[in-house]
Chain A
Amino acid sequence: MNFKAQLRIVISEFQKSIKIWLAYPILLVFWVIAPLMWLLPFIFQGKALVGGMHSEAFKNLTGSPNYLPFVLIGAMVSTYIFSGLWGVGNSLREETYWGTLEYIIASPASPILVLLGKTLAEFLYASVNVGLQALLATLFLGLNLTITKILPVLVIVLLLVIGFYGFAIAFAGLTLLIKEAHGWVHTIEWVFYLFSPIRYPVEVSPITKTLSALIPLTYALVAIRTIILLNKNLGDLHKIIFILLIMDIVLLLGGYIIFRLSERRTKVAGTLGQY
């Protein structure tokens, strides 16, 4: 298949995913509002414990005393991770449920191209979500986003999601072999909630600090918060950017290999299409 035909596969999958999402407009509303709703208790908890919107103890740990933007950024960036986990990681499970997976595998198209289409659609979807979240947060929660910070933040987000989607593709492959995928999605969610600074500064305990170093999301969140809250630029973050790049390469390659292996394994074990 020539490059043009391959590109068409990616674009068609992209269009298909978007069209199916548009059939469930309520879900878009849900994913915009829910992450913001989930973080409101953290704001009220902050108020109750420190009496205002600034905390000296928080400043000692994170460099900024403002806990509100801290949790806001955590909620917004993690939207990419959690919607990607469902949207890409669980997507082949979804195709199985629809009964369409066998037809995709039986076609001459590479399933990796199909997943690439899904990934691009997912990125757009999450970006729309986060964009709307940022808008709501600016209007109602007093988040201060200057235009000049958007570009460097986007660079970090891209570095985060490239590796993460590699992971999600590997996961998508594994869901062909493991039936109870949604349980694993939850387990992965836990790991992220507990050991990365989505909802609290991991520096608070040496255990969480050490474990969080294994998760790319940790670096991305630290970098994004540094840009937005401490007014640093990308140049100051070259070390984090380097670590993220290495993680991207490892995750993308690993994701590809694991997917290929699981795809083959599925055809031997005969579990394709079973729901």
Chain B
Amino acid sequence: MGYAIEVNNVIKKFKRGSGLKKREIVAVNNATFEINEGEIFGLLGPNGAGKTTLVRCIATLLIPDSGTIKIMGKDVLKYPLFCRRQIGLLTSGERTLYWKLSAKDNLKFFAALYGLDKKETEKRIDYLMELLGLKEVQNERVEKYSSGMKQKVSLARALIHDPKVLLLDEPTLGLDPQFARFLRDFIKNVLNRQERKTILLTTHYMDEADELCSRIAFINQGRIVDCKTPEEYKRDLPHSEVLEIKTTLITNAKELEENLSKIPTIEKVNITTQNTITHFKIILPRAEQVLSDVISEVQKYAKILAIDVNEPTLEDVFIYITGRRLTEDTKEELELE
């Protein structure tokens, strides 16, 4: 079996701002990975890590500054039309459809763009509306739909030409939990298992990546920092535990972080603050051994609200590798989104 997508040393920079404030932002920095046919490949990283830029390069919406991208063995810049036919694209966000048209009219239009003839179009629309449970409402204007239904129509559009490869960019962002659940099951069971589609999924929800993906690439500040199966990632932290502490607000967290890192056996410390509560994640072999040291150190700075010891999750691996949480984002990177 060959590769469905090959990404080779891709670099993409943007110029932002004007005049004195003009500067260059490296959105994707030398990314390289391959996706096998038939697998669900995850691109996991915090907001602004460069996931969307990478997906847009693959979808031929952006031209990389350097590097090559191949879809089913063909270069996206040399054979854009071939590549576009292989790809179905789904992005997050409310507005990606013609609200003044019905679901069916939206799909008919895009079917024509993909070169489907009348008969095929009817057949595909029928099939997809049935599959997604939209049959009853397919002639109603999209503006009347709930956001979950709109996302279903967007998904149907991504599937209208029966593509081999699906690019799903944060597909569950902003959806209610129940519908996000439906979409995840649908991606795994219907799209991947039944229809044998190759799927590139970007997300900053680690549960989503863990549950769906056969392999995951961690992306941070435009770089692919690692690429493995979820199980392999978890094996990266052999015999480790994660000590989680919540305290009242700590202002000089940097100093405390340094002090904690000095305690023997502690491998990684991550501190974040949200709504006046400071969260600690400390990765170490056995929490029990140093618990009292940690507590007495932390108590110098704030009042402890809760302590917990857990098995490492994918997010802890991400912290272990990058020192950052998936839910963090930096100002500069946000401008890219």
**A residues within 8 Å of B by Cβ?**
1, 4-5, 8-9, 11-13, 15-16, 19-20, 23-24, 97-100, 102-109, 114, 264, 267-270, 272-273
Contact = CB atoms under 8 A, between A and B. Distances in A.
Closest 10 CB pairs of A and B: A12-B112, A99-B95, A109-B113, A23-B100, A107-B113, A5-B115, A99-B96, A108-B84, A108-B81, A267-B63
Nearest to A1: B115
A263 to B, nearest CB: 11
A112 to B, nearest CB: 12
B29 interface: no
Nearest to B100: A23
Interface of B: 12, 14-15, 27, 53, 56, 59-63, 80-82, 84-85, 87, 89, 91, 93-101, 105, 108-115, 117-118, 141, 157
A43 B262 CA distance: 89
Contacts of B12: 270
A20 B98 contact: yes
| From A11, A100, A107, A273, residue with most partner B Cβ within 10 Å | A107
B113 A108 contact: yes
Give the dominant DSSP class at B's interface.
mixed
Contacts of A23: 100-101, 141
Contacts of A24: 100
B93 A99 contact: yes
B109 A16 contact: yes
A267 B98 CA distance: 23
A269 B96 CA distance: 21
A100 B96 contact: yes
B63 A268 contact: yes
Contacts of B89: 102-103, 106
Task: Give the interface centre of B82, B105, B141 by most chain A CB atoms within 10 Å.
Answer: B105
B322 to A, nearest CB: 24
A108 B112 contact: no
Nearest to A114: B113
Contacts of A9: 112-113, 115
B84 A4 contact: no
Contacts of A12: 108-109, 111-113
B300 to A, nearest CB: 47
Contacts of A104: 113
8 contacts: A23-B100, A98-B97, A102-B96, A106-B60, A108-B85, A109-B115, A267-B60, A267-B61
A98 B97 CA distance: 7
A15 B101 CA distance: 11
Given A12-B113, A98-B97, A106 B59 contact: yes
B157 A103 contact: yes
B53 A270 contact: yes
Given A102-B61, A106-B61, A107-B113, A16 B105 contact: yes
A104 B141 CA distance: 20
Given A20-B98, A100-B96, A267 B113 contact: no
Given A8-B117, A108-B114, A20 B96 contact: no
Contacts of B82: 108
A148 B60 CA distance: 52
Contacts of A5: 112, 115, 117
B95 A98 contact: yes
B98 A98 contact: yes
Contacts of A108: 80-82, 84-85, 113-115
Contacts of B15: 269
A273 B118 CA distance: 29
Nearest to A12: B112
Contact of A103 (B80, B110, B112, B117): B110
